[in-house]
Amino acid sequence: MKYLGLRLATGASFALVGIFLGLLATAKPLDDATTPRFNDLIHHQNGPFPVIQIQPVASGLTSPVTVTNAGDGGGRLFIIEQVGRIRILAGGTVLPTPFLDIHELVSCCSEQGLLGLAFHPDYANNGFFYVYYTDVAGTLTIARYSVSAGDPNVADPDSHYPILSQLHQPYTNHNGGQIAFGPDGYLYGGLGDGGAGGDPGENAQNLQIWLGKVLRVDINGDDFPGDPARNYAVPPDNPFVGNPNALEEIWAYGVRNPWRFSFDRMTGDLLMGDVGQGAWEEIDFQPAGSAGGQNYGWDVLEAMHCYEDDPPGSCDQFLNGGSTLPVLEYSHSLGCSVTGGYRYRSQLYPQLNGLFLRRLLLRTNLGRHTPREWDMAKPTTPPNHA
């Protein structure tokens, strides 16, 4: 069992450096002799890999777990503190007043808390943003808030508007935590398998429950006007629309604990870090324009390895076309829990353009991979992503 929240809370400034690695692409070549195949990428087609120093940009925070921006051109960064606060970093300074403080609504910590934040694509005009947290009863909750009318650096705490919630979270761990708007304007959310270890409820492969899934909803509509706790519409092209044996909000399934995922801002591809059980970590991939419905294999597989061959023959089936295999896996000899990552898209370091930078917990290393060199990080060739 992995206590992701505890690991993230080991030190405010240290944790924040880890969070910013993906956004700022502050990478440094690996020196660990146990990772030669990662170092093979130092000289790839874009030129020598640059040596970049990692520097802390803020301190004095309490369990920061993610950072994002509002997309409004304001230059501010919004930092989530797991205890239930959103802080603003502006002009190199963490503002003393939280943007939002909902600590009284949030259960914390270990793997619970305020875990995700996403700003509406039209935030500059409507002021809407969305948070993902475990409430005091442990329920996974996605809710909308609004910026206050008088101060762009302070949200209105009374503007809480529920979007959806996953009741009956059986254990306190494996809550996922990521929400993000895709290039299609829909809101995506990653939910863990319900917790404990080994998915005892067999939730990840069960299409009649949200646990162990990536959801996709339209927050600009409402298909459930009679239910005040469900304020969204189901996109008509979701893969299980009309399927009586599946929940229509499900976009992909078979994940264990999708702590962080990101969309490539150039291509629209989705890349997701799914925390492994005890031996293997994985990065899953969904190409832009996908129709959804991918089964990423858990708990039959852990990355590309058989975990639970139930019923007998499931592992062989999943490994040979019955699931969507990860594009990257690594064993715990290289690091511990994967915490997602980003494809670098910027001009500051052109040598990094198109590389995927992923962060490991309990290591100070970054792995980096080009889209055509996934196989350099694992012993098999890339799977077919169709």
Give the integer Cα–Cα distance in Å for 315 and 305: 8
User: What is the structure's pLDDT at 356?
Assistant: 77
Q: Is the dihedral of CA 29, 35, 38, 39 positive or negative?
A: positive
Q: CB neighbours of 379 closer than 8 A, spacing ≥ 6?
A: none
The torsion angles phi and psi of 249, rounded to 5 degrees, stand at -75, -15
Backbone angles phi and psi of 151, in degrees to 5? -145, 115
**Which CATH architecture group holds 4-377?**
6 Propeller (2.120)
What share of the chain has pLDDT > 90, as a percent? 68
H/E segment holding residue 176: none
Residue 41 in tokens: 């990428």
Q: Please state the pTM of the whole predicted model.
A: 0.84
**Tokens matching residue 348:** 């500051």
The rounded distance, in Å, linking the Cα atoms of 192 and 41 is 32
* CA nearest to 189, candidates 216, 152, 229: 216
Name every residue whose Cβ is closer than 8 Å to that of residue 127 and which is 6 or more positions away in sequence: 146, 147
Distance from the first to the final alpha carbon of the chain: 32
Length of the chain in residues, anyone? Answer: 386
Give per-residue pLDDT as tens, 8-64. Answer: 333 343 344 444 443 333 233 333 333 333 333 333 445 677 777 778 889 999 999
Q: Cα–Cα distances in Å, from 51 out to 29, 326, 327, 374? A: 7, 28, 26, 22
From CA 19, how far away is CA 174, in angstroms rounded?
A: 19
Buried (b) or exposed (e) across 327-346, using 16+ Cβ within 10 A? Answer: bbbbeeebbbbbbbbbbbee
CA angle 172, 175, 178 (to 5 degrees): 155
**Torsion sign, CA atoms 141, 195, 198, 21:** positive
User: What are the pLDDT digits (tens) for 89-109?
Assistant: 999 999 999 999 999 999 998
Nearest to 28 by CA among 357, 271, 346: 357
| 3-state secondary structure string across 199-220 | CCCCCCCCCCCCCCEEEEEECC
148, 155 Cβ separation under 8 angstroms: yes
- Parts of the chain with a pLDDT under 70: 1-47, 358-386
- Asked if the peptide bond before residue 72 counts as cis, ω within 30 degrees of 0, the response is no
Task: Report residue 264 as tokens.
Answer: 């490539």
Task: List the domain boundaries for the chain.
Answer: 4-377
